[in-house]
Amino acid sequence: MPHFSAIAHQVVDLPDFDCPQKTKTIIFDLDETLIHCVDDAETDNPDVVIPIHFSEDPEPVMAGINIRPHIIECLELANKYFQVIIFTASEKEYADPILDYIDPDNKYF
Protein backbone atom coordinates (compact mmCIF):
# COMPACT_ATOMS: atom_id res chain seq x y z
CA MET A 1 0.00 0.00 0.00
CA PRO A 2 1.54 3.33 -1.03
CA HIS A 3 2.31 5.89 1.60
CA PHE A 4 0.30 9.15 1.45
CA SER A 5 3.41 11.19 0.68
CA ALA A 6 3.64 9.36 -2.65
CA ILE A 7 0.33 10.90 -3.75
CA ALA A 8 0.37 14.11 -1.72
CA HIS A 9 1.06 16.14 -4.87
CA GLN A 10 -2.34 15.05 -6.20
CA VAL A 11 -4.36 16.50 -3.31
CA VAL A 12 -6.81 19.18 -4.42
CA ASP A 13 -8.06 21.98 -2.18
CA LEU A 14 -11.83 22.28 -2.54
CA PRO A 15 -13.47 25.70 -2.47
CA ASP A 16 -14.51 27.04 0.93
CA PHE A 17 -17.99 25.90 1.74
CA ASP A 18 -20.02 27.37 4.57
CA CYS A 19 -22.77 24.83 5.12
CA PRO A 20 -22.10 22.63 8.16
CA GLN A 21 -25.04 20.27 7.59
CA LYS A 22 -23.51 19.13 4.26
CA THR A 23 -20.52 17.04 5.22
CA LYS A 24 -20.01 15.29 1.90
CA THR A 25 -19.06 16.48 -1.56
CA ILE A 26 -20.25 15.14 -4.91
CA ILE A 27 -18.34 15.91 -8.09
CA PHE A 28 -19.97 15.80 -11.52
CA ASP A 29 -17.99 15.84 -14.75
CA LEU A 30 -19.33 18.51 -17.08
CA ASP A 31 -18.69 16.94 -20.47
CA GLU A 32 -20.57 13.76 -21.34
CA THR A 33 -22.19 13.67 -17.89
CA LEU A 34 -24.13 16.92 -17.52
CA ILE A 35 -23.88 18.11 -21.11
CA HIS A 36 -22.77 16.98 -24.56
CA CYS A 37 -21.12 19.40 -26.96
CA VAL A 38 -22.22 18.54 -30.50
CA ASP A 39 -19.86 18.50 -33.48
CA ASP A 40 -21.83 20.89 -35.67
CA ALA A 41 -24.21 23.37 -34.05
CA GLU A 42 -25.93 24.06 -37.38
CA THR A 43 -26.79 20.48 -38.35
CA ASP A 44 -26.87 18.50 -35.07
CA ASN A 45 -29.92 20.33 -33.62
CA PRO A 46 -28.50 21.08 -30.14
CA ASP A 47 -30.65 22.08 -27.17
CA VAL A 48 -28.87 25.44 -27.00
CA VAL A 49 -26.09 27.30 -28.78
CA ILE A 50 -23.80 29.18 -26.40
CA PRO A 51 -21.13 31.66 -27.50
CA ILE A 52 -17.75 30.69 -26.04
CA HIS A 53 -15.13 33.45 -25.94
CA PHE A 54 -11.57 32.11 -25.93
CA SER A 55 -8.91 34.67 -25.10
CA GLU A 56 -6.75 33.81 -28.13
CA ASP A 57 -9.63 34.23 -30.61
CA PRO A 58 -11.50 37.53 -31.06
CA GLU A 59 -14.58 35.78 -32.50
CA PRO A 60 -16.71 33.60 -30.20
CA VAL A 61 -17.10 29.92 -30.96
CA MET A 62 -20.77 28.99 -31.17
CA ALA A 63 -20.95 25.79 -29.14
CA GLY A 64 -23.95 23.55 -29.65
CA ILE A 65 -24.81 21.96 -26.31
CA ASN A 66 -27.21 19.17 -25.43
CA ILE A 67 -28.27 19.35 -21.81
CA ARG A 68 -28.77 16.05 -20.00
CA PRO A 69 -32.47 15.41 -19.31
CA HIS A 70 -33.54 16.14 -15.72
CA ILE A 71 -30.28 17.94 -14.92
CA ILE A 72 -31.97 20.59 -12.78
CA GLU A 73 -33.89 18.02 -10.75
CA CYS A 74 -30.67 16.05 -10.25
CA LEU A 75 -28.73 19.13 -9.14
CA GLU A 76 -31.53 20.25 -6.82
CA LEU A 77 -31.63 16.87 -5.10
CA ALA A 78 -27.85 16.52 -4.92
CA ASN A 79 -27.59 20.04 -3.51
CA LYS A 80 -29.86 19.13 -0.59
CA TYR A 81 -27.30 16.64 0.72
CA PHE A 82 -23.93 17.48 -0.82
CA GLN A 83 -21.58 20.26 -1.70
CA VAL A 84 -21.82 20.05 -5.51
CA ILE A 85 -18.68 20.59 -7.56
CA ILE A 86 -18.36 20.46 -11.34
CA PHE A 87 -15.17 19.14 -12.91
CA THR A 88 -13.99 19.53 -16.47
CA ALA A 89 -10.75 18.87 -18.28
CA SER A 90 -11.74 21.70 -20.61
CA GLU A 91 -10.79 25.34 -20.27
CA LYS A 92 -12.49 27.69 -17.82
CA GLU A 93 -13.45 29.95 -20.75
CA TYR A 94 -15.46 27.02 -22.15
CA ALA A 95 -16.98 25.80 -18.89
CA ASP A 96 -18.09 29.08 -17.32
CA PRO A 97 -20.66 30.10 -19.99
CA ILE A 98 -22.16 26.60 -19.96
CA LEU A 99 -22.39 26.53 -16.16
CA ASP A 100 -23.89 30.03 -16.21
CA TYR A 101 -26.54 28.77 -18.63
CA ILE A 102 -27.34 25.71 -16.49
CA ASP A 103 -27.28 27.60 -13.18
CA PRO A 104 -27.67 31.34 -13.81
CA ASP A 105 -28.41 32.08 -10.14
CA ASN A 106 -25.52 29.98 -8.74
CA LYS A 107 -27.89 27.88 -6.63
CA TYR A 108 -26.46 24.43 -7.30
CA PHE A 109 -22.68 24.67 -7.58
- Catalytic residue selected from 13, 18, 31, 39: 31
How far apart CA 52 and CA 27 sit, in angstroms, is 23
For the question of residue 96 being annotated catalytic, the response is: no
- Catalytic residue selected from 18, 29, 96, 103: 29
What sign does the CA torsion over 52, 56, 59, 62 have? Answer: negative
Residue 71: other Cβ atoms inside 10 A: 16
How far apart CA 48 and CA 21 sit, in angstroms, is 35
For the question of residue 29 being annotated catalytic, the response is: yes
Catalytic residue positions, numbered? 29, 31
